[in-house]
Amino acid sequence: MIEKIATIKEKGGIELNDVDALSLPVSKQETDLAILFEIPERKDQEKPGRILQMIWDKRFPLVKGMAGAYVYAVTITSGGARPGNHYHKKRKEIYFVLSGTVEVLLENIATKKLQRCFLGDKPQALYIKPGVAHVVVPYTDHSILLVIADSPNSDGDEFGYEISRQTLVDTA
């Protein structure tokens, strides 16, 4: 189910200008494994040839209580690379595709529930909940994935977990 997001003003909050409003997702679709946010775009006729998308604004975090403390980009240089195949017990991550198209396969390690999300065709952000294994399957070479996390990888909270794309297809 897709939920439209109320503006901060409607929630009794602050007055937003046009740029501030870009920090709020247009909609969100939540499942047991993840939350998919639709991100607004700004196409300013006075600044032709560019599109602005707000990726992170600490005033309006996509996920309540999540601090974007660690941000990095992953460039997938060949179709054979599959970043991920792990899960985190505590760490929270948000994925945003900067270039290319990817499929993100998700599996709840406790319930074995499976899900897949396609990212890159439109501006979206995918929040992956703790305890959900994930792997990124690129559909285009040189796909670039921006990861916003609440902690670095060095905290001992990464556990290997193989997700088979065939298993996901067989259960669909």
Q: 124-147: per-residue pLDDT in tens?
A: 999 999 999 999 999 988 999 999
Residues 132, 161: Cα–Cα separation, whole Å: 10
Q: How confident is the model at residue 80 (pLDDT cuts 50, 70, 90)?
A: confident
Q: How confident is the model at residue 152 (pLDDT cuts 50, 70, 90)?
A: confident
- Tell me: pLDDT of 84 over 70: yes
Class of domain 2-171 (CATH, top level): mainly beta
Query: What is the model's pLDDT at position 108?
Result: 95
Q: What is the mean pLDDT of residues 78-99?
A: 88
Query: What is the model's pLDDT at position 170?
Result: 44
Query: What is the model's pLDDT at position 168?
Result: 54
- Tell me: pLDDT of 13 over 70: no
Do 87 and 164 contact (CB within 8 A), yes or no? no
What CA–CA distances, in Å, run from 71 to 20, 26, 80, 93?
A: 21, 23, 24, 10
Query: What is the model's pLDDT at position 109?
Result: 93
- Tell me: pLDDT of 2 over 80: no
Q: What is the mean pLDDT of residues 54-82?
A: 83
Query: Which residues, 6+ apart, have CB-to-CB distance to 114 below 8 Å?
Result: 105, 106, 107, 163, 167, 168, 171
Tokens of 31: 């499942």
